Amino acid sequence: MTQKLTIIRPDDWHVHLRDGDMLKAIVGYTARQFARAIVMPNLTVPVTTTAIAQNYRNRILAAVPEDLKLEPLMTCYLTDRTDAGDIRRGFDDGIYTAGKFYPANVTTNSAHGVADIRNIYSALDSMQDIGMPLLVHGEVTDAGIDIFDREAMFIECILKRVIADFPDLKIVFEHITTRDAADFIMESGPNIAATITPHHLEFNRNTIFQGGIRPHYYCLPIAKREIHRLVLRQAATSGSSKFFLGTDSAPHTVGAKESSCGCAGLFNASCALQSYLKTFEEEGALDRFEAFASLNGPKFYNLPVNKEKITLEKSGDTIPNTIPVSDTYIVPFHAGETLAWKLDTSINV
Ligand code: NCD
Ligand code: ZN
């Protein structure tokens, strides 16, 4: 049985690093595991211009603990008023790596999102032209659509149209949660890919209601039926280069989660690789983990593969019960549990 795994250092292709005290409290967890991170732009004041992105990038770099490093890859929050010229300059100058499409009000801090996809068509035109990937939060927002159907509906109502209108646009369907999305990705051309989170591989919607309501398992897109989880596990471990790692680690303080109207999002940066490896081992696919974690993402984004390596070993890793943030704390994914795999931080090959 494999006890040790040395792989090229992975990247996280979807993470929420937040800002201020929260950023300072959590960024080290991402830097410990990953070389680069695609940073989500949904701050309270969203990252909608290159100037905002540059300043945010500097705050992230300043918050990374001295003994660690992380390369933040910045994304632009697309809005009804996005300036296609700013997008183009931001990408050409290396400030932006991708543009993020949140349908308006779909999730945390998305009130500034796009009301109608046609409002960002000139931005999409530029992005297609310069090869800048579009990252999509793939859920429709119509309150009349069942929350468990919103991802599948997004494919029919929006994604197919965008692909038809911009056939050469690179698109990442983020944090997919359904068989519909996994099948759609497999059937699409090479410029359409998807990220899969560690948590959607581990639990289904029953977990959210096991013995009561468990707010720390609530995230968006919400976990679906077991059949969807099983298909996601197949997709992630299939060896297909269309699927890659994106944690969607999205911290909220305990008060914001354990509330009569709790926020969506779970913090998994303290156990992301451990959690993914649990799934890959259970699926007998440890030999395919490096491609999912470290090769498929850079290939899609046209970026070099990292030079550094990391080692994980099966020595057991107890995840903390809480992660302190100023005078409060976060309850992380797998809080207080011991996972089999552990990142060996003493070895950097
Ligand atoms: C994210 C957040 O809290 O910013 N929440 C989540 O449940 N994933 C937003 C998002 O990615 O939807
Ligand atoms: Zn997210």
Q: How far is the CA of 29 from the centre of ligand 1 (A)?
A: 18
Q: Three-class SS of residue 11?
A: coil
Number of residues in the chain:
349
Angstrom distance (rounded) from CA 278 to CA 172: 24
- What global pTM score does this model have? 0.97
Angstrom distance (rounded) from CA 9 to CA 161: 36
Whether the CB of 137 sits within 6 Å of ligand 1? yes
Check residue 113 and give its pLDDT. 87
Of the candidates 214, 184, 183, 180, the residue with the CA atom closest to the CA atom of residue 199: 214
Whether the CB of 266 sits within 6 Å of ligand 1? no
Nearest bound ligand to the CA of residue 248: 2
**Would the CA dihedral through 9, 312, 237, 196 be positive or negative?**
negative
Check residue 110 and give its pLDDT. 80
Q: How far is the CA of 238 from the centre of ligand 2 (A)?
A: 23
Q: How far is the CA of 244 from the centre of ligand 1 (A)?
A: 18
Per-residue pLDDT for 348 more than 70?
no
248 noted as active-site residue: yes
Q: Whose CA is nearest to atom 6 of ligand 1?
A: 265
| 119 Cβ neighbours under 8 A, 6+ residues apart | 80
Whether the CB of 256 sits within 6 Å of ligand 1? no
Whether the CB of 248 sits within 6 Å of ligand 1? yes
Per-residue pLDDT for 170 more than 90?
yes
SS3 letters across 23-50:
HHHHHHHHHHHCCEEEECCCCCCCCCCH
Give the pLDDT band (50/70/90) at residue 298.
very high
| Contact of 237 with 283, CB cutoff 8 Å | yes
The architecture in CATH of the region 10-307 reads Alpha-Beta Barrel (3.20)
Whether the CB of 250 sits within 6 Å of ligand 1? yes
Nearest ligand 1 atom, CA 248: 8
DSSP 339: E
- Proportion of the chain above pLDDT 90, given as a percent: 93
Per-residue pLDDT for 42 more than 80?
yes
Per-residue pLDDT for 349 more than 80?
no
Q: What is the mean pLDDT of residues 223-235?
A: 98
pLDDT tens for 96-125 read 999 999 998 877 778 888 989 999 999 999
If you average pLDDT over every residue of the chain, what do you get? 96
Per-residue pLDDT for 322 more than 70?
yes
Active-site residue, from 248, 287, 317, 327:
248
274 exposed, middle or buried (CB, 10 Å; 0-12, 13-18, 19+)? Answer: buried
Whether the CB of 219 sits within 6 Å of ligand 1? yes
Nearest bound ligand to the CA of residue 109: 1
Q: How far is the CA of 83 from the centre of ligand 1 (A)?
A: 25
Per-residue pLDDT for 224 more than 90?
yes
Q: Both tokens of residue 333?
A: 């994914």
